[in-house]
Every structure is written in C-alpha cells, then in structure tokens.
Amino acid sequence: MTVPMPISLHINGERVDALVLPRQNLADFLREHLHLTGTHVGCEHGVCGACTVRVNDEIVRACLMLAVQTHGTSVQTIEGLSDSGEVADLQAAFRERNALQCGYCTPGMLMSAQDLLKQQPEPSRDQIREHLSGNYCRCTGYQAIVDAVEMTARSRRVRQQ
C-alpha cells in the first residue's frame, strides 16, 4: 500500500493523470501536486469545512477523502468555480456584505453555500445557518455570510422570473 497508484480524473474540467500515494488525501493532492491552494486545510479531521470541494456534484471534505478515491471522478475547486463564473454573484454578495475577513474559510464557505442554493432556491435564514454549520468561521460571527447567501438567493430568484 505504499506504492504510488495511477489515477485519472477531471479537475475543474481539465483531465489530470497522476501517480499518488494511497495515503494521500484529496486536500494535499490538490494543494501539493496541483498547486490549487484555494482549497484550505484547517483541521485535517473533517470538522472545520475549510477544505470543502465538490466531487461529482457532491460537496465533500477533501481532508477525509483519499486522492485515489477520486479516480474517474470530476472534482471542482474554488478556482474552477471562480473561473467558470458559477459563483460570481455569490462572491459579489460576499464582497458587498463583507462576509469574509481573513478569507481562510471563504472557499469552503462558498462551496457549501452554492450547494445549498442549488438544492434550495428559497432558503430561510435558519436553513442557511443549518447548511453552513459545518463550516467554521472565526472572524465574522456568520451573520454577514448568512446575509450574503440570502441576498444571492433572492437575486437568483429575481433573475429567473
């Protein structure tokens, strides 16, 4: 189990082929092999949510998934979501509402928020708080983040009408 294994997957739409040690987690793989440092590492035991990424359209803790498990999958990181423009409105709302201070939780927070907005276009404040309750933010006290997600949900509904 200590021999590097070949994996092949799509990351932010690009095909990636790599040899990875079986023990390496997805967060370290993204950061160290691919230099996608927008995926942050906060606790390395699946609690803080800083490393949240999307694998096959589901958000996961990249510190709790092994890189070898992503073989054949499609992974999206904050860099991909930013470049595609998928969360541009959410990012704008975060900026306008100052829903980030140090910014370390922000990529994971955006991932989780976008996940909620895809599932639930009209979330209540309580639902937003509940959905983001796996993403730790020490700076903001969360209210601004909840406001920004609420604002985005509202503006997306208006756009779709």
Partner 1 sequence: MTAPKPITDGLSLLDRPNSYIGKTVPRPNLDRLLQGRGLYVSDMELPRMGHVVFLRSPHAHAKIVAIDIAAAKLKPGVIAIVTGQELAAVITPWVGVLSHLKGLKSAPQHAIAVDRVCWQGEAVAAVVATSRALAEDAIDVVFVEYQELDAVTDMRAALEPEMTVIHPSLGDNLAFERVHDAGAVDTAFAASDEIVETEFVFGRHTGVTLEPRAVVADWNAAEARLTIYQGTQAPHMVQNIAALHLGLEERQVRVVCKDVGGSFGIKVHIYADEMATYALSRLLRRPVKFVADRLESFNTDIHARDHRCKGRIGVTRDGTITAFEIDDLTGIGPYSMYPRTSAIEANQVVNLVGGPYVTKNYRARARVVFQNKNVMCQYRAVGHPIACSVTEGLVDLAAAKIGMDSIEIRRRNLVPDDAYPCASASGLKFEQLSHHASLTKLVEMMNYESLRAEQAALRDQSIYRGIGIASFIEVTNPSAAFYGVGGAKISSQDGVAIRLDAQGAVICQTSITEQGQGSESLTAQIVGSVLGVSMERVRVILGDTDNTPYGGGTWASRGAGIGGEAALQAAKILRKNILDVAAAILQSTPAELDIADNAVVNIGDGAPRIELRELARIVYFRPDTLPPGIQPELMATRHFVPREYPFAFTNGVQASWLEVDTATGFVKLLKHWVVEDCGTIINPQLVDEQIRGGVVQGLGAALFEKCVYDDHGQLTNANMADYLVPMSGEMPDIDVGHVVSPTEESELGAKGAGEAGTAGAAAAVANAVNDALSPFGTVITEIPLTPQVILTALGRI
Interface residue list for partner 1 (CB under 8 A): 21, 23-24, 28, 31-32, 36-45, 47-48, 50, 77-79, 82, 91, 94-98, 100-107, 110, 125, 128-130, 132-146
- 143: Cβ–Cβ under 8 A, 6 or more apart, which residues? none
Min CB(47)–partner 1 separation in Å: 4
How much of the chain is in helix, strand and coil states, percent to nearest 5?
40, 15, 40
Residue closer to partner 1 by CB (options 9, 90) is 90
Query: Between residues 102 and 122, which has the closer beta carbon with respect to partner 1?
Result: 102
The nearer residue to partner 1, 72 or 143, going by C-beta atoms, is 143
Alpha helices in the chain (DSSP H): 26-28, 78-84, 88-96, 106-119, 125-131, 143-160
Distance of alpha carbon 23 from alpha carbon 119, whole angstroms: 33
Least separation, in Å, of the C-beta of 54 and partner 1?
A: 13
Q: How far is the CB of 9 from partner 1 (least distance, A)?
A: 19
For partner 1, the closer of residues 95 and 154 by Cβ is: 95
Min dist. Cβ of residue 15 to partner 1 (A): 21
The smaller minimum CB distance to partner 1, of residues 54 and 97, is found at: 97
Closest CA to 111 of 69, 155, 59: 59
Provide, rounded to whole angstroms, the least separation between the CB of residue 82 and partner 1: 4
